[in-house]
Amino acid sequence: MQKMPVLFVLVEKYADWEGAFLAADIMTNTEKNGLVVKTVGVQTSTPSSIGGFKTQTDYMLEDAPEDFAGLVLIGGETWRMPEVEKVSILVRMAVEKNVPIGFICDATVFAAKHGFLNKIRHTSNLLSDLREYCAEAYTNKASYIKEQAVSDGGIVTANGDAPAEFAYLMAKALKLASEEEIEDSFVAHKHGFYARCGRKPEWQSYLDEE
Q: Which residues are catalytic, by number? A: 105
Nearest Cα to 14, choosing from 67, 70, 87, 98?
87
Other CB atoms within 10 A of residue 13 CB? 18
Nearest Cα to 38, choosing from 12, 77, 11, 69?
69
Nearest Cα to 163, choosing from 31, 6, 25?
25
Nearest Cα to 76, choosing from 100, 110, 46, 45?
110
How far apart, in whole angstroms, are the C-alpha atoms of residue 162 and residue 166? 6
Q: What single letter denotes the amino acid at residue 191?
A: H
Q: What single letter denotes the amino acid at residue 181?
A: E
Instruction: Kindly give the pairing relationship between strand 149-152 and strand 155-158.
Output: antiparallel
